[in-house]
Chains A and B, each alone.
Chain A
Amino acid sequence: MTTAATTRKSAVGTAHTRVEGYDKVTGAARYAGEIPFAGLAHGWLVLSTVARGRIRSVETAEVLAMPGVLTVLHHGNAQRLNTGYIGLMGVPDPTCAVFQQDRVPFMGWPVALVVAETSEQAREAAEALVVRYEEEPHDIAFAADRPDVYLVDQGPAPAETGKGDVAAGLAASAVVVDAEYTTPEEFHHPMEPHAATARWDGDLLDVVDSNQGATWVVSELANLFSLDPASVRVRSEHVGGGFGSKGVRAHQVAAVMAAAALRRPVRVVLTRRQMFSLTGYRSPTIQRLRLGADADGRLRALEHSSVSLTSTVYEFLEPAAAASRALYDADAHHTVNRVVRLDVPTPSWMRAPGEAPGSFALESALDELAEKCGIDPIELRVRNEPERGPVSGLPFSSRNLIACFREGARRFGWADRDPRPGVRREGRWLLGTGTASACFPVIAWPSTAAVTAEADGTFTVRIAASDIGTGARTALTLVAADALEVAPDRVRVRIGDSNFGPATIAGGSMGTRSWSWAITAAAAELRERLASGAGIPPEGITVRSDTTEAVGALSEKERHSFGAQFAEVAVDVATGEVRVRRMLGIFAAGRIVNPLTARNQFTGGMIWGISMALHEEAVRDRASGGHYGADLAGYHVATHADVPHVEADWIDDPDPDDPVGIKGIGEIGIVGAAAAVANAVRHATGVRHRSLPIRPDRVILAGAGGTADAGGTGTVRGTGTGAAGGTGAAGEARA
């Protein structure tokens, strides 16, 4: 090893701006919908306007005569697809396997694709296309007590886990919390809408797309169209956000189908409104938490049950109750996820699926328990730290939850907190603080990578990774630089191309960990080869890696990232306004590769938690079965003005079993964030809000004497002149 190498500062752990940042801010970076193709035609999807029924006719004649229209694809003329396979994420969602049936299972189901010379012509024709339906009554009434709620028997994790006797545990407990929490239908719309261009070159299929995994999309398209995966290439160089929504969706399949029918490139771009039924969402949840504890707060019983919904054509489970499987133990411990099929679009993975809504319920319930026991919420968590995985019995790879709380408490000023609710007033605002735990699984999936030592002394890394805005490309550059013991500016990382070989998805917070593992392995072998001192030929020296064996050899452990969330809120109970004043998140989430983009990931999740707590809610219109206000004017997320001082930091927590020490940071930022806000609202006002979002009308109605969904033990006194003025005595918010 040279002296230069030993004194080189590690690139990993050093703040680095995005390597493609200049291209992005100057517009040089091209996204899937704006890459030019010669002879490009444009497809526009036509979605059903009924929520359940059968297509009687698609009246194409008039539309085919419109200017520029090339074809109309629908169930009557579309090519048959193979849907009888099990892919990376299970069987395919029929929503993506377009135009295979005349049944309409939900409002917004793709019924046709109009292809024309220009996007405008396609749109005008698509809007003019008459589709006639035999409409049937739809059922979108989501409720936990429906008789058709059932236990899902699929998926990577069991739907139900249990040990001990919950009823007996509750009966023997000095303190019991038994409460229902609900979260609404939530959407994850990236700034860049879904877009794909498909082009056939002889028997080779070339797709330019915006996705979270080129390998994944190749395998789905190869299956659906009965192609050799080697004849399919998917590229996705820049992705303007994904959040779980960018897998295989109807637009890619429709584009491939149309490109085959017309033998020319076809692009399909989704509108924001189309995304509300085609690209997934987080199912609403109805969750019940039953906690039993001794007077000192030690849990005897923990039961977390959740009901979510799915479509009638595909079984997707939002595993909210799984949030309770790693955090807290009890002799009696039961978690169960159930689902009900309704005439609604298929939900999907959305940032921290399960953990985001599950942590709202669990961490709210813990806060309720702390208050009932008269124990500080952090101390309650300290007293319930498990030695081993509560469900699995396995040891933790590392567990630094309490260290996060200690550091967070110190920086947030938690020690000075008066636990009494509803006693801090500043003008018209009641102030409160809240905290919550965060926990998210640590995963690695096999990947391959190729690292080339170029003749000019630089290095090229090729991996079918996907940078969905996280900064993954930059993180991989830093990892590769350290593995090659060179400066980052000598490393070029190329991603987003299935020709680079199989690699896992940007999902499950595992992308950077899994890809880094493959890059590190290839780089290590390359350095050995270079150490022999032989010259580098003009084509360079390339080493390929495959981590299938190494990842498979990981011992069974409870592997998680952890975090402690803190929030301060201000609530005007006279007008129902809730504003977050500051948030702090301290995380133990493995080695942090790039502090700059990592902080962005954490705070992005926390800000999403503010949105989840206070704003986000898609409203379904009972009569039509479709959405009310399906756009980003109607579906509110936090604006800049809603996001005050949000700070994220981390403690040292390298993963001992990962070559780089990485755990994964993509999702944990949202986990527990909404609960911290809701717990702060309780502390501010004395009202426990168990239904998200904590809307002004809910705050006002709770202030007027409490409602079913905002009941709790405390209610804000009436909204007469005293409270209304916002200038009353500090204690007025207490019942």
Chain B
Amino acid sequence: MKEFGYQRALDVPGALALLDADADARFLGGGTNLVDLMKAGVERPSRLVDVRELPLDRIEPTADGGLRIGATVTNSDLAAHPGVRRRYPALAQAVLAGASGQLRNMATVGGNLLQRTRCGYFTDVTKACNKRVPGSGCPAVEGEHRNHAILGASSHCVAVHPSDMAVALAAFDAVVSYETAGGPGELPLTEFYLPVGGTPHLETALPQGALITGVTLPPAPVAALSRYRKVRERASYAFAIGSVAAALDVRDGVTREARLAFGAVASKPWRARAAERVLTGAPADAGTFAAAADAELAAAEPLPHNAYKVTLMRNLVVAVLTGLAEEAAR
């Protein structure tokens, strides 16, 4: 087991300085993914800079009526927050659909966004993986890919992003805030993750050495009627094989506004804008919902063993939107 250093940062500038001092250092949040990867030899940091004690553990309303969520807020606290549960219920549901109670008590919002894929080739250092060793190849394309991407993938990598939380954040136009030695910055979540292309090892648009400080949810009245549904192979403690975060504003049987994002189908949480366009202004009925799903999934390029995901996502979109429409009508 490789020896590594460990330091706890107490303020943001201190954390940035500690990371900056060591090219192979990593920020440590809850450690629920990074430590596993260190055990597997996928990550071999020289030093861990523990950022859990940073004063970024608050969830606060913003002036315009949104919410600002600190980067070190635990998944458990996020899911339990009354403002989240009331105004963005799909986000609370998404967080609760992930991992286990113990893991959610440890995992942080910032770390959740930066967790790595659970592709079994990525996590096994005896196998090739373009994400882990650029240029080594992607065995999943010809090999095991039942739970791999159907959207936005490339021949270099077909892994999916594992986060449930990020799917709901993507649906609600969340913005990621970060700090660097050169000053702060922001990235909309939908631009936070880079396209796979030929560089699957480059996962986010965060500048080198940046520390995520929080996530801002803009006000979104539509989110008050929202759902997250996760389909997984067992009832708990498993990553999604397909998930949907959805919000609908239906009046008089017509969808005025819709938010839709997919999980477990791409290298990032997949904001389904094509589907949203079909939904908006159209009758809130099963036929429209199916047409919306089809519009989004028209771009799907399934592999031989994950074509079921196209059917699954279509069924799931229709089921979740139908449920929301029924609720709106009550």
Among the listed B1, B124, B146, B319, which residue makes an inter-chain contact with A630, where contact means beta carbons less than 8 Å apart? B124
Q: Chain A residues with Cβ under 8 A from B63's Cβ? A: none
Task: Report yes or no: A724 in contact with B41, Cβ–Cβ below 8 A.
Answer: no
Among the listed A619, A624, A696, which residue makes an inter-chain contact with B233, where contact means beta carbons less than 8 Å apart? A696
Q: Chain B residues with Cβ under 8 A from A577's Cβ? A: 231-232
| Contact indicator per residue, chain B 87-108, by CB within 8 Å of chain A (1) or not (0) | 0000000000000000000000
Please count the residue pairs between chain A and chain B whose beta carbons lie under 8 angstroms apart in the complex.
122
Residues of B113-171 whose CB lies within 8 A of A? 118, 120-121, 123-124, 126-127, 139, 142-144, 146
Is A127 in the interface zone, CB < 8 Å from B? yes
Is B187 in the interface zone, CB < 8 Å from A? no
Is B220 in the interface zone, CB < 8 Å from A? no
Is B2 in the interface zone, CB < 8 Å from A? yes
Is B6 in the interface zone, CB < 8 Å from A? no
Task: List 17 A-B pairs, Cβ < 8 Å.
Answer: A120-B1, A428-B319, A574-B315, A574-B319, A576-B308, A577-B232, A614-B233, A624-B127, A626-B127, A628-B144, A633-B118, A642-B236, A697-B241, A697-B305, A700-B308, A724-B286, A726-B315
Known A124-B2, A628-B120, A697-B146: A704·B311 in contact at CB below 8 Å:
yes
Is A381 in the interface zone, CB < 8 Å from B? no
A633 to B232, CA, bound (A): 13
Minimum CB–CB distance from A692 to chain B (whole Å) comes to 13
A626 to B125, CA, bound (A): 12
Please report the total number of A residues contacting B with Cβ < 8 Å: 46
Q: Chain B residues with Cβ under 8 A from A726's Cβ? A: 315, 319, 322
Minimum CB–CB distance from B122 to chain A (whole Å) comes to 10
Task: Report yes or no: B315 in contact with A719, Cβ–Cβ below 8 A.
Answer: yes
A622 to B144, CA, bound (A): 9
A642 to B234, CA, bound (A): 7
Q: Chain A residues with Cβ under 8 A from B311's Cβ? A: 700-701, 703-704, 719
Is B212 in the interface zone, CB < 8 Å from A? no
Contact surface of B with A, Cβ cutoff 8 Å: 1-3, 41, 118, 120-121, 123-124, 126-127, 139, 142-144, 146, 231-238, 241-242, 286-287, 289-290, 305-306, 308, 311-312, 314-316, 318-319, 322
Task: Report yes or no: B234 in contact with A721, Cβ–Cβ below 8 A.
Answer: no
Q: Chain A residues with Cβ under 8 A from B315's Cβ? A: 574-575, 700, 719, 723-724, 726
A720 to B317, CA, bound (A): 12
Q: Chain A residues with Cβ under 8 A from B306's Cβ? A: 697
Minimum CB–CB distance from B123 to chain A (whole Å) comes to 8
Chain B residues touching A, majority SS? loop
Task: Report yes or no: A623 in contact with B238, Cβ–Cβ below 8 A.
Answer: no
Among the listed B233, B236, B318, which residue makes an inter-chain contact with A724, where contact means beta carbons less than 8 Å apart? B318
Is A638 in the interface zone, CB < 8 Å from B? yes
Q: Chain B residues with Cβ under 8 A from A574's Cβ? A: 315-316, 318-319
Q: Chain A residues with Cβ under 8 A from B139's Cβ? A: 621, 623-624
Q: Chain B residues with Cβ under 8 A from A555's Cβ? A: none
Q: Chain B residue with minimal CB distance to A119? A: B1
Among the listed A120, A624, A630, A641, which residue makes an inter-chain contact with B236, where contact means beta carbons less than 8 Å apart? A641
- Most chain A beta carbons < 10 A, residue from B234, B238, B242, B286: B234
A577 to B243, CA, bound (A): 13
| Contact indicator per residue, chain A 540-584, by CB within 8 Å of chain B (1) or not (0) | 000000000000000000000000000000000011110100000
Q: Chain B residue with minimal CB distance to A699? A: B308
Among the listed A124, A628, A701, A725, which residue makes an inter-chain contact with B286, where contact means beta carbons less than 8 Å apart? A725
Q: Chain A residue with minimal CB distance to B326? A: A727
A725 to B325, CA, bound (A): 12
- Most chain A beta carbons < 10 A, residue from B233, B241, B242, B286: B233
Q: Chain B residues with Cβ under 8 A from A640's Cβ? A: 236
Task: Report yes or no: A725 in contact with B318, Cβ–Cβ below 8 A.
Answer: yes
Residues of A612-657 whose CB lies within 8 A of B? 614-615, 619, 621-624, 626, 628-631, 633-634, 636, 638-642
Known A574-B319, A575-B231: A123·B312 in contact at CB below 8 Å:
no
Q: Chain A residues with Cβ under 8 A from B314's Cβ? A: 719, 724
Q: Chain B residues with Cβ under 8 A from A701's Cβ? A: 308, 311
Q: Chain A residues with Cβ under 8 A from B289's Cβ? A: 721
Task: Report yes or no: B287 in contact with A721, Cβ–Cβ below 8 A.
Answer: yes
Among the listed A127, A696, A720, which residue makes an inter-chain contact with B241, where contact means beta carbons less than 8 Å apart? A696
Is A466 in the interface zone, CB < 8 Å from B? no
